[in-house]
Amino acid sequence: MTQAGAIDVGALINDRKMGRAQITVILWCVLLFLSDGYDFGVLGNIAPAIIGDWHSNRAAFGAVFSIGVIGLLIGSLIFGPLADRIGRRKVIIISGFIFGAFTFASAFATNLPELAALRFLAGLGIGGTNPNILAYVAETVPERRRAFTIAVALLGGFTGGIALGGYIISKLLVSYDWHVVLYVGGVIPIVTCLLLIAFLPDTAMQSAIRGENAKVAKLLTRFYPDTPFSPDATYFVSDGPPPKFPIAALFNKQNLPATCTLWFGGIMNGIVIFFLGSWLPTLVHQSGLSVSQGVLANSLNQLGGIAGGLAVTPFLDRYGAVAVVGPFLLAVPAIIILGMTGSNESWIFIMAAIVGICVVGAQTGQGALQAIVYPTALRSTGAGWAIGIQRIGGIIAPTLFGVLIEAKVAQTELFVIAAIPPLLAAIAYMLFAYSRRNSGRGWSASEATVT
């Protein structure tokens, strides 16, 4: 058994290889992420069916999307700091129950105001789950593999849930109405959270910050069974205790450039992500294809994103923020070409996947940065607020493009407009990467500060 003494948990995890027990807890997070992704994309996939059933106009339905995104924003802003206070495990489980329950309840909505209110409440839970799972994964794996592992969890779970959900929904809509889609989206996360209560532990790094030495020793012994750890040892994290004012710490001298870049880049990419997620199935259907084909195009967009994210993050671990500049730049022509495909089914599917490689690839890179750049005591706050602020783009996009679609703006023009935000994001990240290079600083969380 280890000597009773002072042990730096972060340094210990960084020095060891990732074992089976660590992979297992990450897989539990991925399982909830799958449900999170399904519920995140569910409304965009069933929008054509609901619009037809209720005889709603697209501009009004765009407002429903935006209200749901406001829930995502508020959930991220609230549950990120809360998890830094009471624990990531608790908040992950609570958030999962929230979005599961209100997604299920959405199936009973009879009009747009009711649906908007229920999607807002479901959004609170979805917004709380995402940053805390990212933070949880970041604290479970060695720093040298952190970005890639976060990407695998994010893509295999959240993005995979959107893609797999699109496929499942396209099949469900052939035999059932949209209500069944929401029933499925509610039941799965509730069952998953019941399992997490039994099988998902707290992270060792956050438990060390709270002084829970026995809990840390038990978890580290589980992770590294060849080296039992003593509950009498003192376990600590070198980047310090929680700040008194965590949100203010995001704007200290060292964190300010990262915070501003992540927020601006997130808003820009959020506009594109939510435009595609909200309106791509509808626009494909409007071009002459079926509702199911529109959903399939959305699913291919997300599958392309999985490939893009896996391609970006190894470079992120090695080169830092500059790795996300390329996907943002490539997204510009890809989005414009997608808008020019008309009703050509093959080209729509091909370009939807290519746009996903670029747009979701860039988004995955941002997601990994959000969970890496901040220290342990500030990680959920930093990631939660970055993800929350990104939702501003999601509030803007559905309503803006809904109004433009209702005004019969040409599809090519819609996609040209959608190509502007990733260009601006690329410029922001180029400037930020250049400033980091000149300062000689990397993306190591240990270099951040919470004061």
pLDDT tens-place string over residues 323-335: 889 899 999 999 9
* 3-state SS class at 232: coil
pLDDT (average), residues 184-212: 91
At the fourth CATH level, the homologous superfamily of domain 7-437 is: MFS general substrate transporter like domains (1.20.1250.20)
pLDDT of residue 328: 92
Q: pLDDT higher for 343 or 269?
A: 269
pLDDT band for position 441 (cuts 50, 70, 90): very low
Tokens in use for 253? 């001298």
**Across residues 136-155, what is the average pLDDT?**
82
pLDDT at 289: 78
CA gyration radius, the chain: 21
CB 334 within 8 A of CB 416: no
Mean pLDDT of the chain: 84
Percent of the chain exceeding pLDDT 90 equals 22
pLDDT class of 240 with cuts at 50, 70, 90: low
Examine the pLDDT at 399 and tell me if it is beyond 60.
yes
What angle is formed at CA 94 by the lines to CA 194 and CA 20, rounded to 5 degrees?
55
Has residue 420 got a pLDDT over 80?
yes
**444 falls in which pLDDT band (50, 70, 90)?**
very low
Length of the chain: 451
**Nearest CA-CA partner of 145 in 278, 306, 307, 19:** 19
Q: What is the pLDDT of residue 28?
A: 92
Place of tokens 């799958």: 34
Question: pLDDT at position 4, please?
Answer: 58
